[in-house]
């Protein structure tokens, strides 16, 4: 990234919006040239604290760092979208995001708001995969048994979804569908892929068929 193309404010700062791979906005803070360069060099997001007038690497005390994936300036070069992999909760309150609201608020239960939870589920499955053990939890045991066993579970769950779809029981149907997605995500991770890779394929197919953007 060419820092000279960015438009820092009169105070030498530029806002950075942190987003995780699941699309959830985690936090907003400011960076100066030094903190931005340190972010690029270290691979961990570093801000400029206006209150302390000092560099501030997110998670330096809590351990909940933000591992840098990508930085994208906006069209005017005066704001940054920072894609990062959070290593724990982002907000000082212990919540995933500084924008987490009341869990009982119906607005937070909308489709766009709940989708990022799939990213958190995948992060949990990734950690279970790293701890694969035949004596461990259900997911750890399944990961330890490898791709053939996980693939067999996907086939089993797909069959259960089909059977449940034929019955007039919405709860059972949704439960079986959830089991299928859970095990399909395990299979994707076992093969070095992700739900995001599947979404990218869908985006690309849509763009190819419509002749427009994904």
Where are the extended beta strands (E) located within the chain?
Answer: 14-19, 25-31, 46-49, 54-57, 66-73, 80-86
* Cα gap 62→60, rounded to integer Å: 6
Domains of the chain, earliest start first: 3-86 (3.10.20.810), 115-209 (1.10.287.1080)
- Pick the closest to residue 29 from 4, 3, 66, 62 (CA basis): 66
Spans of the chain below 70 pLDDT? 100-116, 212-214
* Cα gap 171→126, rounded to integer Å: 28
- Pick the closest to residue 186 from 117, 124, 135, 137 (CA basis): 124
85 three-class SS: strand
The pLDDT value recorded for residue 169 is 92
The pLDDT value recorded for residue 113 is 54
Among all chains, which residue has been given the structure tokens 């997605």? Answer: 181
44 three-class SS: strand
The pLDDT value recorded for residue 157 is 98
For the entire predicted model, the pTM comes to 0.55
φ, ψ at 81 (rounded to 5°): -100, 115
The pLDDT value recorded for residue 158 is 97
Count Cα neighbours of 77 within 13 Å in the Cβ-side half-sphere: 8
The pLDDT value recorded for residue 1 is 79
Instruction: Report whether 166 contacts 172 (CB < 8 A).
Output: no
* Cα gap 52→171, rounded to integer Å: 52
Among all chains, which residue has been given the structure tokens 């299979």? Answer: 187
- Pick the closest to residue 26 from 103, 111, 119 (CA basis): 119
| Furthest-apart CA atoms within the chain: distance in Å | 64
- How many other CB atoms are there within 10 angstroms of residue 91's CB atom? 14
């Amino acid at each position: 990234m060419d820092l000279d193309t960015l438009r820092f404010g009169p105070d030498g700062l530029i806002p950075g919006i942190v987003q995780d791979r699941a699309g959830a906005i985690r936090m907003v803070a400011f960076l100066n040239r030094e903190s931005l360069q340190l972010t690029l060099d270290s691979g961990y997001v570093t801000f400029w604290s206006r209150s302390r007038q000092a560099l501030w690497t997110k998670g330096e005390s809590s351990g909940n760092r933000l591992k840098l994936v990508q930085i994208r300036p906006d069209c005017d070069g005066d704001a940054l979208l920072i894609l990062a992999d959070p290593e724990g909760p982002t907000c000082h309150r212990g919540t995933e995001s500084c924008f987490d609201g009341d869990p009982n608020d119906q607005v937070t239960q909308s489709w766009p708001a709940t989708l990022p939870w799939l990213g958190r589920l995948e992060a949990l499955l990734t950690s279970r995969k790293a701890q694969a053990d035949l004596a461990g939890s259900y997911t750890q045991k399944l990961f330890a048994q490898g791709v053939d066993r996980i693939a067999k579970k996907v086939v089993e769950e797909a069959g259960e979804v089909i059977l449940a779809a034929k019955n007039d029981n919405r709860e059972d149907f949704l439960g079986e569908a959830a089991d299928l997605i859970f095990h399909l995500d395990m299979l994707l991770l076992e093969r070095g892929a992700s739900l995001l890779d599947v979404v990218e394929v869908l985006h690309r197919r849509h763009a190819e068929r419509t002749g427009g953007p994904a």
